[in-house]
Copies of this chain bind each other. A is one copy, B any other.
């Protein structure tokens, strides 16, 4: 089966009960994951959530021996040294993108029949956030590698759903007011200027606005129409759906 939607569970904080409920709600909304990667101590979270792990990687230094014994040998994977140039999350994302490229026609010249927008691929990461803000920020930055491949990238925790908008690249995010993750939508510039930011269907709409990095103008907006639409002309930006 072609791999289209990959779930990565990595080693940050995971609210297990939230994760169980969220995956259940996703399923009811028709969103399922056909490949799951556990990165390092994300394996322990994956085990607690009860999700099927298809691939595992990490140095496992801080992973419970019993959990490790349960999976190692039964699930394909790689053991990396603790000291390496990439974090486990970055290695998991690279693995996910390789899987999607190999199995999904969009980037597979031998399978042009699948090159359709309907076969949109995604990588969703949970456990990417936590008290260590260096890890959180690095993980958020990794969304760029996903988006650059034309794949939708999401970082999700109990309070936030984070995406990246890049132009040139993906130029629009649409959020239905019924399906949105939380009550608020915020935009954070990742380039010194985000040119031509337009937000339609919001309480505070914007039309072709130049958003500067380091100002707090676009925090806590709310969708007032059936759908909120966010687009930009040039730059790189995070879109966060959040709830208190």
Binding site for B on A (CB under 8 A): 85-87, 89-90, 129, 131-145, 157-160, 162, 184, 186, 188-192, 213-217, 219-220, 236, 238, 240, 242, 244
Contacts and interface: CB of A to CB of B under 8 A. Distances in A.
A124 to B, nearest CB: 16
A141 B188 contact: yes
B216 A89 contact: yes
A92 to B, nearest CB: 11
Given A90-B216, A133-B242, A190-B190, 8 more contacts: A131-B158, A134-B242, A138-B219, A141-B188, A141-B216, A142-B216, A143-B214, A145-B214
Nearest to A93: B216
Contacts of A129: 133
A142 B214 contact: yes
Contact of A219 (B135, B140, B186, B191): B135
Contacts of A159: 131-133
12 contacts: A86-B215, A89-B216, A132-B242, A133-B136, A133-B140, A135-B219, A137-B238, A138-B188, A138-B219, A141-B189, A143-B214, A213-B236
A133 to B, nearest CB: 5
Which one of A131, A191, A238 has the highest number of Cβ atoms from chain B below 10 Å of its Cβ? A131
Nearest to A219: B138
Nearest to A129: B133
A136 B220 CA distance: 12
Given A138-B186, A216-B89, A132 B144 contact: no
Q: Which 6 A-B pairs have the closest CB atoms?
A: A134-B186, A144-B214, A87-B216, A134-B240, A131-B159, A138-B216
Contacts of A141: 188-189, 213-216
Nearest to A143: B214
